[in-house]
Amino acid sequence: MEKLEPIYEGKAKKLFETDDPDILLLEYKNTLTAFNALKKTTMEGKGALNNKISSYILQYLASRGVPNHFVKMVDEVRQLVRKVEIIPLEVVVRNITTGSICKRLGVPEGINLNPPLVEFYLKNDELGDPIVTEDQAISFGWASEEEIQKIKNMALQVNQLLKDLFKPLGITLVDFKLEFGKTKDGEIILADEISPDTCRFWDSSSGDRLDKDRFRKDLGNVLEAYQEIWRRLSAKGEE
């Protein structure tokens, strides 16, 4: 079904065309990168876990009114997704301070943000994905004013739905990154994965990190943390 050469190969995924011009095949790799790929490793089984976790979450969101690119899982490491034109912004939602915001603003880790914060970063590896203002995004034409408002609303809706999903599983959603795309009809939908590579998950009772920070900070048991997220989600049952 899929063509042999990827049309795109990123740090953690490959994209292939299919016979349907509106559908792409997304393959999850076992590579794990951090700090703009300065740190890199391979972890057997990571791709399969992210494929399952992301499929679960995107189905959960779709059934609750958040349109996204997920179509169906094909096998352990591959899923079909709708083809979109990616908006060149990374959208980060933060509930609790940690990571880059602490470095940038000199604030301590662990402050509860109320209301949650929505930030925009320009997708540009060479520049290290710099933070941008909404006005910059609009004036440079990365998204229209209407699209920015839509994206913000969707990001906050996703935040609430993910908090509702993870809280009963004993997991605190600290922050996460989203990407959005435009379909050929001009509809803005959620694209890309939602997984422990793109979210910070803290165990609600122990505070243990259950996400890519285990790799970023050399905490060990990286794959075990991803498995734990999948264990708790799958124990909850089908979405």
Q: Tell me: does residue 177 bind ligand 5GP (CB under 6 A).
A: yes
Instruction: CB nearer to ligand 5GP: give 25 or 194.
Output: 194
Report the residue number, 23 or 102, with the smaller CB distance to ligand 5GP: 102
Exposure of 110 in the CB half-sphere (CA atoms within 13 A):
3
Q: Is 90 in the site for ligand 5GP (CB under 6 A)?
A: yes
Check residue 83 for interaction with ligand 5GP (CB under 6 A). Answer: no
Q: Does 29 bind ligand 5GP (CB under 6 A)?
A: no
Stretch that binds ligand 5GP, among 106-114, 152-160, 169-177, 179-187 (CB under 6 A): 169-177
Length of the chain: 239
Quickly list DSSP for 133-200.
-HHHHHHTTSS-HHHHHHHHHHHHHHHHHHHHHHGGGTEEEEEEEEEEEE-TT--EEEES--STTTEE
CB of 92 to ligand 5GP, least distance (A): 5
175 binds ligand 5GP (CB under 6 A): yes
Judged by beta carbon, residue 18 or residue 204, the one nearer ligand 5GP is 204
Size of the site for ligand 5GP (CB under 6 A): 14
- Gap between the Cα atoms of 2 and 106, Å rounded: 48
Answer for which of 6, 10, 99, 116 binds ligand 5GP (CB under 6 A) is: 99
Could you give the CA distance from residue 75 to residue 51 in angstroms, rounded to a whole number? 9
Within 10 angstroms of residue 56's Cβ, the number of other Cβ atoms is 22
By beta-carbon proximity to ligand 5GP, the closer residue of 2 and 119 is 119
> Is 235 within 8 Å of 165 (Cβ atoms)?
no
Residue with smaller CB distance to ligand 5GP, 73 or 117: 117
